[in-house]
Chain A
Amino acid sequence: MVVYQRETRHRSVVLILAFVSLVIVTLDTNGNGLIESVRNATRDALAPIRNGVEDVFEPIRDAASGVTDYGSLKEENAALKRKLANARGKLNRENAVGSKVSELERLLDLPTAEDATGIAARIVSSSGNFERTVEINKGTGDGVFVGQPVVAGDGLVGKVTRSSRTVATVTLIDSPGFGVGVRLENTGVHGLTESHSGERNILLKFTQIFAPTGRQLPKCSERASPDTCISIGELVFTEPTARGAFPPDIAVAQVSRITQATGDLEPTIVLTPLVNLDDLTYVKVLRWPEPKA
């Protein structure tokens, strides 16, 4: 009898807590201000401890990776030097036409990435197993608000999706359900990125037909002009739109694979983000749109 009563009580406790959990899940899914406030307060309260742990752990991690990754770091260094040389050459070529573009942008009053000032932030923690987010050590107190774009040296990282007083959450561009309006480097054809769970690469879906041919862009063959097709290694940039979520012309990713199975109407274009999203340390949050004085 006593055992029966005890087991009934156990079950009641579990049922009540399970019900409470489901209520909280439902409220949070529908966006509840109170839950958001509690969450932000908790994150703010633990922020100094987490920053401290990250500070302590960083040198240990660097030392360990310095020892274990020495070989690959040497190779990476050589590859980066080659890339830098190529980039300098490209920059010089683009400078030739850049002044004209800037002049036209000013005439049209188009916003550019250079218009946005940034807030440097450090990654203090990452997400759980089923999400692609990182937490940065700057929040609303530093001017970081929901919706602001986040970049690193190489290109776009993601967008701020939650912000408390001292910390903010950034959803990465390869997070499922996250799409970025982009344009291809050579043809300027517009598309939308599409991410899938567990995939580090993202897919490019076209939102625009290539006007001169009235068809989807084909993969470049050896003799084709890059202005009429898609080539491996081609970059994609954020597209210029009025009141866009991101400033225009931020590098997002590069085309790493193009496949088209028999019967498919359009090719599958796989993009690799330019920024290594698994190894972020510092990022810049762009004040976008830039607040007007």
Chain B
Amino acid sequence: MLIRRLRLVLVVVTLVVIETTVFRHLTIFDALPSLCLVATAAVAYEEGPQAGAIFGFLSGLAIDMFLSTPLGLSALAYLLTGFGLGVFQGGVVRETRGIAPVLAAAGGLVGGAIFVLVGGIAGEDGFFTLTSVKIVVVAAAYDALVAPLVFWFVHWANHDPDRTRGWR
């Protein structure tokens, strides 16, 4: 259990570092992927709504530390996305090959929309613009592109042969 948690912390730290350093040179139409949001989608897919929500909150908080937007904004967006995707996978999605990009894109769209909406309400400049919509859409597509790798990474970290399903 402890090893698994440490691995998940490693996942968050690694993704935060990669997202804020390496990917700054790899933008597509000025958009970056949200690696922690994709990881949240992966956890929600594997573990369900509560785990997705908790992981989303913590990983969002971690990425918030390195952004200039208010702390807690990504945490809220990822939390709600993780919960939503967890509910969705429990009710609709079955284990399917190629589901990772679909879930990542859906998570990117939902998480991005919540981020922009709450950020705009909180008074962030330039959030309620068409450019924000474009960035959310492109970033969601980028999320889909990197999803297989991130899902694999999360699966490795989350894998624990000695436990039953559940994320506590």
Residues from chain A with a CB closer than 8 A to the CB of B74 are: 128
Question: Count of chain A residues with Cβ under 8 Å from any Cβ of B?
Answer: 50
Q: Is B99 an interface residue (CB 8 A)?
A: no
Measured between alpha carbons, how far is A38 from B75 in the docked complex, in Å?
15
- Identify which of residues 23-75 in chain B touch chain A, using a CB-to-CB cut-off of 8 Å: 24-25, 27, 30-32, 34, 49-50, 53-54, 57, 60-63, 65-75
Cβ–Cβ < 8 Å partners of A129 in chain B:
30-32, 34, 112, 135-136, 139
Q: What is the bound-complex CA distance between A13 and B54, given in angstroms?
A: 8
Contact call B68/A169, Cβ cutoff below 8 A: yes
**Chain B's interface: helix, strand, loop or mixed, by majority?**
helix
B110 to chain A, nearest CB (A): 14
Residues of A within 8 A of B25 (CB): 57, 61
Residues of A1-60 whose CB lies within 8 A of B: 9-10, 13-14, 17-18, 20-29, 35, 38-39, 42-43, 46, 49-50, 53-54, 57
User: Is there contact, CB below 8 Å, between A13 and B126?
Assistant: no
Given contacts A14-B80, A18-B76, A25-B73, contact A43 B66 (CB under 8 A): yes
Q: Which one of A69-77, A91-99, A193-201 is at the interface?
A: A193-201
Q: Give the contact-size bracket for chain B.
A: 35 or more
- Prevailing SS type, chain A contact patch: helix
Q: Give min CB distance, A42 to chain B, whole Å.
A: 4
Q: How far is the CA of A128 from the CA of B127 in the complex (A)?
A: 13
In the bound assembly, the distance between CA atoms of A46 and B123 in angstroms comes to: 29
B116 contacts partner chain A, Cβ-Cβ < 8 Å: yes
Given A46-B17, A61-B25, A130-B127, A198:B49 Cβ within 8 A: no
Does B18 sit at the interface, judged by CB under 8 A? yes
Asked if A127 and B68 sit within 8 Å, CB to CB, the answer is: yes
Task: Please tell me if the beta carbons of B65 and A39 are within 8 angstroms of each other in the complex.
Answer: yes
CA distance A23 to B57 in the complex (A): 13
| Known interface pairs A42-B65, A49-B17, A61-B25; A28-B125 also in contact (CB < 8 Å) | no
Q: Which of A80-124 contact B (CB under 8 A)?
A: 124
Residue of A nearest to B49 (CB): A10
> A43-B65, A169-B68 are known contacts. Are A21 and B79 too (CB-CB below 8 A)?
yes
Q: What are the residues of chain B within 8 A of A43 when measuring CB–CB?
A: 65-66
A21-B79, A197-B126 known; A161 and B17 CB under 8 Å?
no
B107 at the interface (CB under 8 A from A): no
Contact A197–B132 (Cβ < 8 Å): yes
A177 with B139, Cβ < 8 A, contacts A14-B83, A42-B65 known? no
A205 CB → nearest B CB, Å: 16
Residue A238 is within 8 A (CB to CB) of chain B in the complex? no
> Is B101 an interface position by the 8 A CB rule?
no
- Please, which residues of chain A bring their CB within 8 A of the CB of B66? 42-43, 46, 125, 135
B68 CB contact (under 8 Å) in A18, A53, A162, A199: A162
Residues on B with C-beta less than 8 A from A175 are 125
Complex Cα–Cα for A46 and B65 (A):
11
Q: Which residues of A contact B (CB under 8 A)?
A: 9-10, 13-14, 17-18, 20-29, 35, 38-39, 42-43, 46, 49-50, 53-54, 57, 61, 124-131, 133, 135, 161-162, 169, 171, 175-177, 196-199, 278
14 A-B pairs (CB sep. < 8 Å): A10-B50, A14-B53, A21-B60, A21-B79, A24-B72, A42-B66, A53-B17, A127-B67, A128-B74, A129-B139, A135-B20, A161-B68, A171-B68, A196-B129
The 6 closest A-B pairs by CB, nearest first: A197-B126, A198-B131, A24-B72, A176-B126, A126-B24, A21-B76
